[in-house]
Amino acid sequence: MIKATALDHLVLTVADPARTVEFYENLLGMELREFGENRKALHFGQQKINLHRAGHEFEPKAHAPLPGSADLCFLVEGTAQDNAARLSKAGIAVEEGPVPRTGATGPVISLYLRDPDGNLIELAHRS
């Protein structure tokens, strides 16, 4: 058996990389880093999200990469109430929450919203 120890990165296929970068940098404090042949990644903690522009994906790729097909959960700082207020001030709609959920290491309070491609983004606050 091969034992997984952590998630290094994942790939999002996006319609407009610049719009995606702006959203994740401004909302979640991720850092854009460019690498390779004009490739872009959003770094946070010890992970990154590589960005592929729809129709111009890098090989190898997922079988059917599509913008808006991801469902991601990020652990975030602060309280759900404070972050809901920040989202509202930024004009970002909360689709659901704050609601109790179960994260990988225990209970969380979550807010759900959409990124520019329509991916479901869960902001989880450890309780």
What are the pLDDT digits (tens) for 67-114? 999 999 999 999 999 999 999 999 999 999 999 999 999 999 999 999
Name the residue among 93, 115, 113 with its Cα closest to residue 30.
115
pTM of the model: 0.95
What pLDDT sits at residue 18?
97
- pLDDT per residue as tens digits for the range 32-65: 999 998 999 999 999 999 999 999 999 999 999 9
Q: What is the rounded CA–CA span in Å between residue 26 and residue 19?
A: 11
DSSP 62: -
The residue assigned the tokens 């990469």 is 65
Decide if pLDDT at 7 tops 90.
yes
Which two structure tokens, joined as six digits, stand for 87?
């989202």
Give the model's confidence band at 127: pLDDT under 50 very low, under 70 low, under 90 confident, else very high.
Answer: confident
DSSP 78: S
Looking at 31, 57, 96, 122, which residue is catalytic? 122
Domain boundaries defined on the chain: 9-126
Say which CATH topology domain 9-126 has.
2,3-Dihydroxybiphenyl 1,2-Dioxygenase; domain 1 (3.10.180)
Known catalytic residue at 34: no
